[in-house]
A and B are shown apart, each in its own frame.
Chain A
Amino acid sequence: MNMFEFFQALFQYEFLQKALFTSVVVGVICGIVGCFIILRGMALMGDAISHAVLPGVAISYMLGINFFFGAVITGVLTAVGIGYVSQNSRIKHDMAIGIMFTSMFAVGIVIITMMKSSADLYHILFGNVLAVRMSDMWITLGIGVLVIGLVVIFYKELLVSTFDPTMAQSYGLPNKWIHYALMAVLTMVTVASLQTVGIVLVVAMLITPAATAYLLTNRLSVMIYLSAALGIVASVFGLYFSFTYNLASGATIVLVSAFLFAMAFFFSPSQGLVWKAHKSRRNRLELMRK
């Protein structure tokens, strides 16, 4: 199937439209939030929170409520727990993360196995974008609007507290609350991404496009736009490959985004390995000629 046929199918099938719409929104919000996550050195935290929503999702299923609520609660609880353990003992932040998120994840697995529905577990872990329901789509859109709104409103504050927390604190920004707000946003983004990429691979959508953009620019604002754009490209092409070759959508989306990262890694005009090597070679040759 070529791109043209994919577009034809897109007009034909509503489930495909929903899938595309949801994955584009997820690409955008993961791209935006990911920028702050990587610049704050919280990549590992992103991984932790995304895994920690599993018990929340499982319990919500059991109670028959929308998994959004359960996920946000367990996600934020984990973030607070990690902070509490690392601040009140000699346990380092990364150790606390390792302990907390694996425990939460394990609790989630136990609950889901007790419910005896391994098909659901598979979909939560790896995503199943073609099964996106109308209500999921609305939740994703709602989260998207909220995240973009927050970043637009608090852009200055986010920039200062990320770049220079000491300055932020000295002029009175509540760094700690900004941190927890970001954690809450992170859980919501994870929930929004559950169906497209699944819990296990959410962290890739958060980190890879943002890291790619990071290699391409020296301005945060540009980085955010680029990262969102890369998220969209990954989502659209990932969905295309998933639909065409009948592969898990999470995996194809992540692979497209990894491919884009590799391109930037080697060919970025300022940071790319290829240009760097080329420039220093030319320099050496010129010096030799003198």
Chain B
Amino acid sequence: MERALKIDQLYVSYLGNQVVKDITFSVEKGSLVGIIGPNGAGKSTMMKAVLNLIAKDKGEVEVFGEPLKKWKKRIAYVPQRSDIDWDFPITVFDVVLLGTYPNLGLFKRPSKADRKWAHECLKTVGMDAFSNRQIGELSGGQQQRVFLARALAQNAELFFLDEPFVGIDVASEETIIHILRDLKNEGKTILVVHHDLSKAESYFDHLLLLNKNMIQYGASEEVLQPEVITKAYANQFSFLQTKGVNVTS
């Protein structure tokens, strides 16, 4: 299999405070990878550093054997929190249409086909009825779905989704995980930060378990072993078990 992403010895710190240490792993093309770990484990930080949105102290990132730079336009990223101005004069449809921009040249405006595609993406996440709404006039979960639609519209090769299911109802989560599986089957590579361990195994083929250091990376059932999970969640482990998280399957 072709290697989509290779991360080698990634280190990131905030103001001298090391929050991501020595992370090395690689992802094969066409996999759906979950990134798990407790709050503050550095999941979001790692994603941002991989995408070069924040500075890293050390580390190499390769996308399909090339530097990240060459692939930037083919990577879709949905951050955990969008720090955008929700009063911005833009409609839901136009937000999704932005997804087509990275692959349009200078001067070029989205074509009819691009608009149709954006509309399809909006439909996929079940938000087409809201196309003409101003982006701020949606609920939090609806906004999250619109940003997912924008990522889909980008026709990316690699997807980085930071907690895409937070604040989303069960039915929409189901739809979205289906979409992600379809993408995977088309050969797209998807990395998802996720905090619900009980769903981790059924959603992802591979898991990356983090707690500042990389605890383990591998097939989901390998990572979801009690002795592995305890390393990351330490004192939260017994709590997780009482909540019915099945880590021994």
Pick the residue among A153, A160, A166 that contacts B79 (CB under 8 A). Answer: A166
User: Interface stretch among A68-76, A106-114, A196-204, A212-220?
Assistant: A212-220
The size of the chain B interface, using a CB distance under 8 A, is 27
Contact A214 B89 (CB under 8 A): yes
> Can you add 17 more A-B contacts, CB < 8 Å, to A156-B101, A166-B53, A170-B51?
A39-B89, A41-B85, A154-B106, A160-B98, A164-B82, A167-B77, A170-B53, A170-B77, A171-B75, A171-B101, A171-B102, A172-B69, A172-B72, A214-B89, A219-B89, A219-B90, A220-B89
Within 8 A of B (CB), among A159-174: 159-160, 162-164, 166-167, 169-172
Contact B88 A39 (CB under 8 A): yes
Q: Which residues of B contact A170 (CB under 8 A)?
A: 51, 53, 72, 75, 77
A6 and B26 alpha carbons, distance in the complex (Å): 74
A183 on interface, CB distance cutoff 8 Å: no
Contact B109 A218 (CB under 8 A): no
Contact A217-B89, Cβ < 8 Å, known A160-B98, A171-B72: yes
Within 8 A of A (CB), among B218-243: none
A39 and B83 alpha carbons, distance in the complex (Å): 14
A171 and B108 alpha carbons, distance in the complex (Å): 16
Task: Point out residues on A near B: beta carbons under 8 Å.
Answer: 39, 41, 153-154, 156, 159-160, 162-164, 166-167, 169-172, 214, 217-220, 222-223
Task: Point out residues on B near A: beta carbons under 8 Å.
Answer: 51, 53, 69, 72-73, 75, 77, 79, 82-85, 88-91, 94-95, 98, 101-102, 104, 106-109, 134
Contact B85 A39 (CB under 8 A): yes
Q: Which residues of A contact B72 (CB under 8 A)?
A: 170-172
B92 nearest in chain A by CB position: A218
A39 and B86 alpha carbons, distance in the complex (Å): 11
Q: Which residues of B contact A159 (CB under 8 A)?
A: 98
Contact A153 B107 (CB under 8 A): yes
Q: Which residues of B contact A163 (CB under 8 A)?
A: 84-85, 88, 90, 95, 98
Q: Which residues of B contact A169 (CB under 8 A)?
A: 53
- Give the Cβ gap from B89 to chain A, nearest Cβ, in Å: 5
Q: Which residues of B contact A39 (CB under 8 A)?
A: 85, 88-89
Pick the residue among B53, B73, B90 that contacts A218 (CB under 8 A). Answer: B90
Contact B98 A164 (CB under 8 A): yes
- Give the Cβ gap from A36 to chain B, nearest Cβ, in Å: 12
